[in-house]
A and B are shown apart, each in its own frame.
Chain A
Amino acid sequence: MTVDSQNDNATIGIFARLQPLLARLLQGGLTLLAVSLLIFLAARALPGDVANMILGQSATQEQLDLLRVQLGLDQPLWWQYLIWLGGILRGDWGTSLSNGQPVADLLALGVRNSATLSGVALAVMLPLSLLVGVIAAQLRDGFVDKVFLGMSMVANAVPDFVTGTVLVALFATTVLHVLPAVSFIPPGDSPFSYPDALVLPATTVIIPGVMYLARLVRVAVIDVMATEYIQTAELKGLSPSRILFRHALPNAVAPIIPAASLVAAFTVGGVVVVEYLFAYPGVGSALVDAVTNRDLPVIQANVLVIASAYFIFNLIADSFAQRDEAAGQRQSKA
């Protein structure tokens, strides 16, 4: 690649860079549509008749039929889907079958609580994993590093509810009694008003996340430290801090960003189990409750929200990964 050809490439580059993003977005929209259809069908396939459930066993056939017509259940399935989808897009998420409240209101509460939990967890997780990873890389093959590797292997293998239960035993019920085992947050209150209720659920999410990400950071830093440009920097007589912060970290962070987005996605997906464990009032526990109660609109809404969040983080991870891939290709051609 010569110096001059670089400028010519720039204009083409914008299109080349935008096109995969647009394709991704389009593909993402289709994926979400497919997800929504899947949710709709799965929810419809749940055993038990909705009208029966609302009116109870004593209802007459006429009452049931009337309700079915009111709910649109007599329409063809694809029409019901379109109606439902249209409602979702207009912000009309229906009403809960179990308590008659608008789903949108319930969802708003759940989303706020879950977003708070995930947000707090991620805000701690990302800087912490960078720190832990860099330290482990610096102490490579030493005792601390080996302990870290062992712990991270365990933390990555063990399911969230096990980590959470062990934390509860340690800090809430069995060994120490400093934190609540159950995160009671009254509806409508901000989770930030109950910081101690947030600690254990957040920690349960943070531990495997940090252990996973820090490991990637460690490998990335070690890889970068072994490159010739770091050797050159050392041979130029630069200070260790300049080498770490100016030369190594910017190169080490690049491969970690997609992984971080992926961890964010996992955090959102794993929220179901963690919230159930701590009875934390978010979308995850609401979903489990709704499935138990066969509360169709609530199930649909919660699944759709979790899937969308999961999807968005995945999309971010993908586009970063693709950008790196493209950069790698450019590099190998040069």
Chain B
Amino acid sequence: MEMTLTTHQWVRSRPVSGWWRLWASTQVRWGVILLVAMTVLVVIGPFVAPYDPAAPVGKPYAEPSAVAWLGTDNLGRDVLSRVLSGGVYLAWMAPVSALLSVVIGAAVALVTAYYRGWTDLVLMRSLDVLLAFPGILLTLLCVSVFGPQPILLVGLVVLTLMPGVARVIRGAAIPLLDREYVLWAKAVGTPGPVIILRELLPNVSSPLLVELGLRLSWSVGILSSMSFIGYGIQPPAADWGLMVSENGTGLGTQPYAVLAPILMIILYTIGGGLIAEGAARVMARTEGKA
């Protein structure tokens, strides 16, 4: 009754487990590479910046020159130095917020989906309340009350994004509860936490990565938007979102002061977008097969 596969078949048809399967996606790989490159750039940026990002080096809105490669901004500061220094906050705040929202959201989703009952009801209903409140308003209100502290901003972004993650992961987990392998685990008396970690979690790895990529983009979006409308990182600190709003009036004369930080934000968000896209495609492929 033994079947023998040739080595060729063996290698080709071998489905790789969990995260490796996702890493095999070109988009996921490029997304991760892009994010790592951006992070490295942001971390070493302040050290390689030619000037002090807060000090004027010429007249306002000077065109790019040998002195200031990307020209100067509204206060005559070097745009290149400010772009290189302007991602520090984003570089830790966005990943931390995204990671926290996904971890907390997934935990809430899996636990409530598995145990059901009244905790499920209470938790999901309170998440609904949070979802019913546009994130940017909540952030705006709280920041105007407590001031733009980074920890507060991270907390608010998590609060804004987490309910959505919970909803999606819960939606992915609930059909799994009727799968035979989960029923089997229940039937032999496997403890709930073990079922959640060993049976459910590995099978929502694709939607989890989709969420992580998506929420990373959105964290960058919310945080830089807050800076842009003046309730995030405060001047004179260098920050991409802030730079866009500071130099908006000079867009006609010195576009680099706006376009350079915008390019950085785009690259950063695309990193997350690529991961989400790649993971979603892996998910569609595997589901199509099943």
Contact flag (A, B; Cβ within 8 A): yes
Residue numbers of A with Cβ under 8 A of B are 27-28, 31, 34-35, 38-39, 42-43, 45-47, 149, 153-154, 156-162, 165-166, 168-169, 172-174, 181, 265, 268-270, 272-273, 276-277, 287-288, 291-292, 294, 299, 303, 306-307, 310-311, 314
Cβ-closest chain B residue relative to A300: B141
Query: Does B182 sit within 8 A of A, measured CB to CB?
Result: no
Contact B229 A276, beta carbon cutoff 8 Å = yes
| A43 partner residues in chain B, CB cutoff 8 A | 141
Contact B265 A269, beta carbon cutoff 8 Å = no
| B265 partner residues in chain A, CB cutoff 8 A | 158-159, 162
Query: Does B52 sit within 8 A of A, measured CB to CB?
Result: no
User: Of B72-80, B98-106, B244-252, which binds chain A?
Assistant: B244-252
| A159 partner residues in chain B, CB cutoff 8 A | 220-222, 224-225, 265, 269
Contact B136 A288, beta carbon cutoff 8 Å = no
Contact with A along B187-224 (1 / 0, CB 8 A): 00000000000000000000000000000010011101
Contact A269 B145, beta carbon cutoff 8 Å = no
Question: Known contacts A45-B145, A288-B140; is A310 also within 8 Å of B132 by CB?
Answer: yes
Of the candidates A35, A157, A166, A276, which one forms a contact with B133 in the assembled complex, judged by CB atoms under 8 Å apart?
Answer: A35
Query: Does B131 sit within 8 A of A, measured CB to CB?
Result: yes
| A168 partner residues in chain B, CB cutoff 8 A | 248, 251
Shortest distance between the CB of B245 and any CB in chain A (Å) = 8
Cβ-closest chain B residue relative to A35: B133
Residue numbers of B with Cβ under 8 A of A are 125, 128-129, 131-137, 140-142, 144-145, 217, 220-222, 224-225, 228-231, 241, 244, 248, 251-252, 255, 258-259, 262, 265-266, 269-270, 272-274, 276-277
Shortest distance between the CB of A227 and any CB in chain B (Å) = 13
Contact B136 A272, beta carbon cutoff 8 Å = yes
Contact A157 B269, beta carbon cutoff 8 Å = yes
Of the candidates B140, B217, B255, B266, which one forms a contact with A169 in the assembled complex, judged by CB atoms under 8 Å apart?
Answer: B255
Cβ-closest chain A residue relative to B220: A159
Known contacts A161-B244, A273-B229, A303-B137, then 7 further A-B pairs from the complex at CB < 8 Å, ordered by chain A residue:
A43-B141, A153-B276, A168-B248, A273-B225, A288-B230, A292-B230, A306-B137
Shortest distance between the CB of A102 and any CB in chain B (Å) = 23
Report the separation of the CA atoms of residues A252 and B248 in the bound assembly, to the nearest whole angstrom.
42
CB<8 Å pairs between A and B, sample of 14: A38-B133, A43-B141, A157-B272, A159-B224, A165-B258, A169-B259, A172-B251, A174-B251, A269-B136, A291-B144, A292-B230, A303-B141, A307-B137, A310-B133
Contact A165 B262, beta carbon cutoff 8 Å = yes
Shortest distance between the CB of B217 and any CB in chain A (Å) = 4
Cβ-closest chain B residue relative to A47: B145
| A46 partner residues in chain B, CB cutoff 8 A | 144-145
| B132 partner residues in chain A, CB cutoff 8 A | 28, 31, 35, 307, 310-311, 314
Report the separation of the CA atoms of residues A161 and B241 in the bound assembly, to the nearest whole angstrom.
9
Question: Known contacts A27-B125, A27-B128; is A160 also within 8 Å of B141 by CB?
Answer: no
Cβ-closest chain B residue relative to A290: B144
Report the separation of the CA atoms of residues A269 and B218 in the bound assembly, to the nearest whole angstrom.
14
